[in-house]
Structure 1
Amino acid sequence: MNGIGFALLAIVTLPLGVIITCMPYLTRRTESFGVSIEEKYFDDPEISAMRRTYATVTGAVSLLVVIASLIAAARLDEEQLGWLLPAAVGVMLAVHLALYLRFHFRMRAMKKQRGLVSAGMQQTVVDTEFYREKRAYSMAWFIPHLLVAAATAWICIAYYDDFPDRIVMQYGMDGTPTNVVDKSPGIVLFPVWIQLLMIAIFAVVNYSISASKQQIDAANPRNSLRRNLIFRRKWSAFTLVTGFLLIVLFGSIPLQQLLGFDFSVQLAFILSIVIITLLWAVRLGFVTGQGGSRIRLPEEAPPAADGKVNRDDDKYWILGQFYFNPDDPALFLEKRFGIGWTFNFARPLAWIIFLAPILVVVLLVYLAERG
C-alpha cells in the first residue's frame, strides 16, 4: 500500500477515535449517556467513573484499530484494501455503541434509584426573543456554492466533446483506475448532480441549526442562551465553509478528466480538504461542546438559586438517541449524546428529509451506470 493509502487511514480513523473517546465529556452537563440529570450530578463519582471507563475502553480500542489497520494495509492486496477502512470504522463504532448502551441502561437504573432529577422543580424555559437573534448565517451564503456548481455544469456542457471517450469513475489506493466507463452526458455531469445534492443537504443542515428547538438550562437561562447562540453560529460557519470546499472539490473532477493532469494532484487536494474538515470539526467540538456547554463567557451571570431544573423528557428519547414526540411541533433538536442535531421522528417530514438523500444517491448511481 502506498503512502497516500496510509495517510487516508490515519486521517479518518484518528479523529474519529478522538471524538468517540471524548464524547461523554462534550455533551451537556445535564445529560449523561442519553439520560437527563441535574447538572450537580455530572461530577458524581459513580457517573464520572462511567465516563472514564467509556473513554479508556473506546480510546484503547480505537488506538489498537488504527495500529492494526496500518499493519494490515501493508499486507493486503488492492481488492482487500477497499474493505479495510470501512471495517476499521465499523469496529470502532460497534465498540462505542456497545459501551454507550451498557452505560445508558445503567444510568436509567441509577436515575430511578437515586432520583437524579428533582420532580418538584422541573421547568421548560422558552425565550420569546430567541428566534429574533442571529442563530445561523444567511442562506444567501450558499450563492457561491451554486455559482461553483453552475460553472462546473457549464464546463461539462461547453467542453463535452473534449472529454475523453472513456471516463474514470473510481481509482484505487495507488492511483490506478479501477472503474472506467464510456462517456455520456450523464457520466460527465455526474459531479454536478452530486454538487446540487450536497448543496441541498448543507442548506437543510444550516436551516436546522437556525430553526432547531430551544434548549435553555432552567437553572441558568441567561448564560445558557448566550452559549447556545454562539454554538449555533460557529457550527453554521463550519457548515458553510466546509460545504463550499466540498463543492469545489467535486468541481475539480471534470477539470481533472478534461485536462488529464496526474491523479495524485487530485488526491492531494482531496486529502487536504478531508484534513481541514476533520481537524476543524474536532477542534470545534472541544471548544463548544454540545449546545455551547464548553464555551466560556467573558462575563457570566451567576446561576439562579431557586432550584429550578430542566423538565425530564426521557420518555420521548428511545435509547437516548431517537426523539419521538407527536405532541412536539419541533422538527429539529439537539442530540443528547455527541454534538449536532437530530430529528423529531414523530414528524413525517423528518423521515422524508432523512431518506431523500439516500434515495437520490441510489438514483444517481443507477442513472450513471446506465449512461
Structure 2
Amino acid sequence: MILSVHLVELLVIVLFVAVEALLPAVLPETLPFGVRVPLTHAKHPAVTRAARRYFRRLALLAVILVAMDLATWRLPGTWAFAAEQAVVLLAGVACYLNYYTAHRQIRQVKEAEDWFAGATQVVAADTRPRRLPSLWWSAPSGIVFLAVLVAGIWRYPALPNRFPVHFAADGTPTQWADKSISSAFGILMPGLLVLALCLLVHVASRATRMDVDPEAPRSSLHLQTLQRRRWVLATWWSCAFVQVGLGLAALLLWGLLGPATGWPMWVIPLTIVTGVVAPWVVVLATTARRSTGSHAASAVPNVPSSGAGAPGSPRVVHRDDDRYWKGGALYFNRDDPAWMVPKRFGVGWTLNFAHPGAWLLLLAILLIASLPALWAYLSAR
C-alpha cells in the first residue's frame, strides 16, 4: 500500500512534465512562451532556438525529478511523504523557471531588434454575444455528489457513536469524533466547494474577453472558441473525478467500503490526482494538434484588418503588451476593465491583479476554502 502512495506521487510529477511539454504547442504563433511577437517573427531563429533549449532542459528536469522521487522511497514513512511533497513543489518551481528562461531569451532578442518597428499596434475585440456552454456538462459531477449524499443519509442512523475521521497512510485511525451531523457530513464540504468553484469558472467563461489577433482575427477567434469549450468541459470532467474520489473517501469514513486498508487508500488519491490532471492533458494534446498557424489559417479563412492589404498601408499587429505580464505569468494592467483574462502560458484564465474585483474574488476563495477547517473546529467544540 505504501508503494501505491509512492506511485501516486510519481504520477503527479510525470503528469506535471507532460503538461509542460504540451503547453508550447497550444499557444498562438504570435505568443511563443508568453512573448507577444508579430506574425512575421513567429519563426524567428530566436524563437526556435529558445524552444529547442526549453525541451532539452525539460527532458533533463524530468530525469532529475523522477530520480529524486525514487530516492525518497528509501526514507521512512513520514520522511518519505514530506520529501515527496518537496519534490513535487520543486517540480513546479523548476518548470516555471524553465518557461521563464525561454520567455526571457525571446523577449531580450525582440527588444534588441525592435520587432514591432514600422507596425501599427492595435487592440482588437470581439463584440458578438457568446453563448454559455451547456450546464448539462455539470450533470456527472452533480449526480455523483447527490448519490454520495443520499448514501450518507441512509448510513447515518447506523454509524457508531464514535468513529474515526482520519487515517494514516497504512489505514490506522489517527483521529476520532463523536457522531453528529457535522462530523459525519463535514467530509462532503470540499466536494460542495469544488462544485461551486467549477460553476464559477463555467459562468466566468462567458464574461472573459477573447484575445483577438488583428493579423489573423478569424482563425484566432475560431481557435479560442474551441479552446474555451474544451477548457470548460475539462473543468467539469476534473470535477467529476474529484467528486468520485471524495465520494469514496466519504464512503470509507462511513464504513461502507470496509476497513481503511488495501485498495481504497491508494485508489482514492489516484482517482483525484489522475482526474484533476488527465482531462487537461487530453485537452492540451487535442489542441496541440490543431493550433499550429498553418493549420489554423487553412481551416478558417482570415479577414484582413481594415487597410492592411492595401499597397503602402501600415502593417497592423497586436499591441505589444508584455509589460503588463510580470514574470511572464502575472497580469497587472490598471487600464484593462477585465478582471479575468486568458493565461499567458497554459490553459484557462488568470486574474488581472490590478483590478479590485480580482482581489475580492481571491478573498472569497480563501474564505470558502477555510470553511472545512472552520466546520471541523466547530464540530470539535
User: TM-score scaled by structure 2?
Assistant: 0.85
For residues 242-275 of structure 1, the C-alpha deviation after alignment (integer angstroms, 9 at most, x for no partner) is 2123223322333222324244343325424533
Q: Is the 8 A contact 1:286 1:294 kept in 2?
A: no
For residues 116-137 of structure 1, the C-alpha deviation after alignment (integer angstroms, 9 at most, x for no partner) is 22453222222322x33x4x52
Letter in 1 for 2:235: T
For residues 305-348 of structure 1, the C-alpha deviation after alignment (integer angstroms, 9 at most, x for no partner) is 63321122223222221112222221211111222210111222
Q: Aligned pair 1:185/2:193, yes or no?
A: no
Q: Aligned pair 1:252/2:248, yes or no?
A: yes
How do 1:41-56 and structure 2 match up within 5 A?
41-56=41-56
Distance 1:275 1:56, change over 3 A: same
Q: For 2:341, what is the secondary structure of its paired residue?
A: strand
Q: Aligned pair 1:168/2:165, yes or no?
A: yes
Letter in 1 for 2:291: S
How do 1:249-328 and structure 2 match up within 5 A?
249-258=245-254, 259-263=256-260, 264-266=262-264, 267-289=266-288, 293-294=291-292, 296=295, 299-301=299-301, 304=304, 306=309, 307-328=315-336
Count of residue pairs the alignment pairs up: 365
Q: Give 1:27's aligned residue.
A: 27
Distance 1:127 1:274, change over 3 A: same
Q: Aligned pair 1:60/2:60, yes or no?
A: yes
Q: Give 2:212's aligned residue.
A: 216
C-alpha distance in 1 between matches for 2:180 and 2:369: 18
C-alpha distance in 2 between matches for 1:161 and 1:230: 48
Q: CA deviation at 1:357?
A: 2.7
Q: Is the 8 A contact 1:50 1:103 kept in 2?
A: yes
Q: Is the 8 A contact 2:46 2:106 kept in 1?
A: no
C-alpha distance in 2 between matches for 1:321 and 1:101: 9
Letter in 2 for 1:359: L
For residues 259-296 of structure 1, the C-alpha deviation after alignment (integer angstroms, 9 at most, x for no partner) is 24244343325424533543331131132159x73494
C-alpha distance in 1 between matches for 2:70 and 2:35: 37
C-alpha distance in 1 between matches for 2:149 and 2:301: 52
Letter in 2 for 1:196: L
Distance 1:315 1:284, change over 3 A: same
For residues 211-254 of structure 1, the C-alpha deviation after alignment (integer angstroms, 9 at most, x for no partner) is 21111111111111111111111121111222123223322333
Q: CA deviation at 1:162?
A: 1.9
Give the alignment partner of residue 206 of structure 1, picking from 202, 205, 218: 202
Q: Is the 8 A contact 1:18 1:59 kept in 2?
A: no
Distance 1:117 1:25, change over 3 A: farther
Q: Is the 8 A contact 1:22 1:55 kept in 2?
A: no
Distance 1:241 1:171, change over 3 A: same
Letter in 2 for 1:29: E
Distance 1:249 1:281, change over 3 A: same
Letter in 1 for 2:53: T
Q: For 1:330, what is the secondary structure of its paired residue?
A: coil
Letter in 1 for 2:86: A
C-alpha distance in 2 between matches for 1:99 and 1:333: 23
C-alpha distance in 2 between matches for 1:169 and 1:231: 40
Identical-pair percentage: 27
Task: Compare 43-52 and 228-237 and name the one that shifted more.
Answer: 43-52
User: TM-score scaled by structure 1?
Assistant: 0.87
C-alpha distance in 2 between matches for 1:368 and 1:269: 21
> Could you say what the CA RMSD is over the residues aligned between the two structures, in angstroms?
2.8
C-alpha distance in 2 between matches for 1:92 and 1:194: 26
Q: Give 1:126's aligned residue.
A: 125
For residues 88-138 of structure 1, the C-alpha deviation after alignment (integer angstroms, 9 at most, x for no partner) is 112222222333344434433322211122453222222322x33x4x523
Q: For 1:33, what is the secondary structure of its paired residue?
A: helix
Q: Give 1:6's aligned residue.
A: 6
Give the alignment partner of residue 236 of structure 1, picking from 232, 237, 243: 232
C-alpha distance in 2 between matches for 1:146 and 1:33: 37
How do 1:80-99 and structure 2 match up within 5 A?
80-99=79-98
Distance 1:287 1:119, change over 3 A: farther
Q: For 1:125, what is the secondary structure of its paired residue?
A: coil
Letter in 2 for 1:341: W
Letter in 2 for 1:242: S
Q: Is the 8 A contact 1:231 1:288 kept in 2?
A: yes
C-alpha distance in 2 between matches for 1:13 and 1:82: 14
Distance 1:158 1:286, change over 3 A: closer
